[in-house]
Amino acid sequence: MVNLLAPGPVPVLKEISEAQTREMITHRSEEFSVLYKDLVMRLRKYFNAHEAYVITGSGALGLETLVLNLLTKEDKVVCFPNGEFGDHQATTVGVYANAIVHRGEDGKGWNLERVKSQIDQSNARAIAIVYNETSMGVKNQIKDICKYAKSKGMLTIVDGISAWPGTEFDMKEYHVDAFVTGSQKGIAAPPGMALIGLSQEAVEVFSKRTTIPSYYCDLRRHKKRFEKDCQTPNTPAVSLFWALQKAFDVLDQKGGVSGAVKRHHEASEHTRSRLAKMGFEMIAEKGFESNTVTGFVAKSEEQAKTIKSRLSKEFGIKIVGARGKFEKTGLRIAHMGNFELKNIDAALDAIEKIIK
């Protein structure tokens, strides 16, 4: 079996995988309503969200759903990308609204001090930011940033696709209006579902709109159908929803969201400390290190290639390269989902052997 340490899709536990093989049911049944209601109510609790929905589609569809329901071409939206996924977020915003983009440096994180003047000068309706920039392993300080943006009357839209549940988060405490995560990341279900959370203000914004530039992603339809009978407006990926329910059970058994944050945080510290002892530099600036994925820099492009290919061929361990400025020399080890520390250590032991 491959020891998959890529930042999503992550390995799926057998019990979660097997939950998909239940006998098919119609999504217009009482049984489906019970399943979907359970998912939605648990998500509301996990995120501390006013409303939550599961959208059949990948994380990017969830992000697009948030953007197109909350913003229009008249809205200025200040975006702070600092990596590939931030760039994608800014592009998505640009499709539906007026994106003002402040590109950060690869590997450097955003904190309030670094975004404050751009927020002040923007006169924007909203801010869009990525919580965990997966392409580098950088965690942005969204709590302070969103709190400040909110104090200026802005809507706050956060891509938490690779952050949750391994990174501390609470929608109300973090002043976040719209949040998305992907099923293939920290919750460690199969790919194909976007989990979204909304504040009361966000719900009021899309509920008041007369036109929304999508049919499938129109949250007014999702809300209406959920309020009618706890179902989805279109046919959902029913089998995946069973898997997600099992993944939530596993999360609860392992100490809930706070348990996940602790596990991920400890694994990230452990990974960084072992890599640093081997002489590697981390990609993430100090104080902005991701809980779920560690990016580090090899001594040369050749060494990066050798580590990646020998890990795969000789040890059956799959890691991926970093992106952007670190595309050639950067490597990433994910400690995301229901990982076991011994698998992370196996990769670190193997890297130690390879570089000797």
Ligand X SMILES: Cc1ncc(COP(=O)(O)O)c(C=O)c1O
CB 114, CB 138: distance < 8 Å = no
Residue of 161, 202, 203, 304 interacting with ligand X (CB under 6 A): 161
Give residue 348's Cα distance to chain centre: 25
Q: Which of residues 243-272 bind ligand X (CB under 6 A)?
A: none
**Single-letter amino acid code for the residue at 324:** G
Instruction: State the Cα–Cα distance between residues 329 and 233, nearest whole angstrom.
Output: 46
Give the N- to C-terminal CA distance of the chain in Å, as an integer: 26
Least Cα distance to 124 among 147, 99, 143, 144 occurs for: 99
Find tokens 């949250």 and name the residue: 219
**Helix, strand, coil shares, percent, the chain, to 5:** 45, 15, 40
Residue 159 C-beta-side C-alpha neighbours within 13 Å: 31
Contact between 69 and ligand X (CB under 6 A)?
Answer: no
Binding span for ligand X by CB under 6 A among 56-64, 213-221, 311-319, 321-329: 56-64
Instruction: State the Cα–Cα distance between residues 322 and 218, nearest whole angstrom.
Output: 34
Residue of 4, 5, 8, 336 interacting with ligand X (CB under 6 A): 8
Residue of 11, 81, 182, 186 interacting with ligand X (CB under 6 A): 182
Contact between 87 and ligand X (CB under 6 A)?
Answer: no
Contact between 59 and ligand X (CB under 6 A)?
Answer: yes
Instruction: State the Cα–Cα distance between residues 257 and 160, nearest whole angstrom.
Output: 14
Q: Which of residues 335-354 bind ligand X (CB under 6 A)?
A: none
Residue of 130, 237, 244, 267 interacting with ligand X (CB under 6 A): 130
Closest CB 156 distance from ligand X, rounded Å:
16
Residue of 3, 56, 65, 162 interacting with ligand X (CB under 6 A): 162
Per rule CB under 6 A, count of chain residues that contact ligand X: 11
Closest CB 355 distance from ligand X, rounded Å:
27
Token pair for 341: 């520390």
Binding span for ligand X by CB under 6 A among 154-162, 203-211, 247-255, 298-306: 154-162
Quick one: CA torsion of 139, 143, 144, 145, rounded to 10 degrees? 70
Closest CB 219 distance from ligand X, rounded Å:
18
Residue of 51, 64, 159, 218 interacting with ligand X (CB under 6 A): 159
Contact between 58 and ligand X (CB under 6 A)?
Answer: yes
Token pair for 164: 């949750």
Residues near ligand X, by CB under 6 A: 8, 58-60, 85, 130, 134, 159, 161-162, 182
